[in-house]
Amino acid sequence: MKSFAAVGAFVIGLSALLMGCADGPRSAAGTQLLDRQGYGAALRQGSRSYRWPADYRPDLDRLSADSAPGGGEAAPAGSERIILEIANSCAWYHSWDDARGRADQARAEEALTVLEEVLPGYGPQNPDGRRYAREAASRARAGDPSLARQFTEANCDGVIAWVRTGTDSEG
């Protein structure tokens, strides 16, 4: 089973850069650091600011447990947004692909709107990710699920546990 170990390592590495390497942990000017419990609380609070599809919502307890800093480590406040952006992207790509497979035009169109208008805005510090999201949305609009599926296979499948809702919540 995949895990958020690589993303967790990124968060810890980012934390180390912000804290500096000498004389133990300290925060960079104005950078708040979160322990495991604080990170989990920030993740849950932050998830409320995202729009989630009706049929895919992340299991926040598992998402937090899999992505939070380890015992004695800290993560910079705001790093939970990276995880939430990935999870939200996964949810919308999956929702669009599922709706497309069921020929549910209303749900597919709702998801396409998010793919086109919201997902390309994630990760402003990552222009390649933004280009990928725009291209995935363009292909999805044309009926090509290849980039949406590539994203979910690389970032979601076997990593994120879902709380499935709605009439199509068999998985």
For residue 151, what pLDDT is reported?
Answer: 97
Compute how many other C-beta atoms are within 10 angstroms of the C-beta atom of residue 129. 18
Quote the crossing angle between the two packed helices 80-102 and 105-117, to the nearest 10°.
150
In angstroms, the CA 168 to CA 109 distance is 17
Q: Residue 21 above 90 pLDDT? A: no
For residue 163, what pLDDT is reported?
Answer: 93
Rounded mean pLDDT of the chain? 85
* One-letter amino acid for residue 103 of the chain: A
Q: Residue 112 above 50 pLDDT? A: yes
Average pLDDT over residues 141-148: 98
Assign residue 83 a region (left: φ > 0; alpha: ψ between -120 and 50; beta: otherwise). alpha
Burial pattern 146-165, b for ≥16 Cβ within 10 A else e, equals ebbbebbeebbeebbebeee
Looking at per-residue pLDDT, the higher value among 165 and 24 belongs to 165
Rounded to 10 degrees, the C-alpha dihedral 63/75/10/47 comes to 30
Note the pTM of the prediction, 2 decimals.
Answer: 0.81
In angstroms, the CA 45 to CA 55 distance is 20
Burial pattern 2-16, b for ≥16 Cβ within 10 A else e, equals eebeebbeebbebbe
| pLDDT > 70: percent of the chain | 79
Q: Residue 23 above 70 pLDDT? A: no
For residue 124, what pLDDT is reported?
Answer: 85
For residue 167, what pLDDT is reported?
Answer: 47
Looking at per-residue pLDDT, the higher value among 70 and 60 belongs to 60
Q: Residue 105 above 50 pLDDT? A: yes
CA distances from 9 to 16, 126, 130 (A): 10, 18, 22
Average pLDDT over residues 41-60: 97
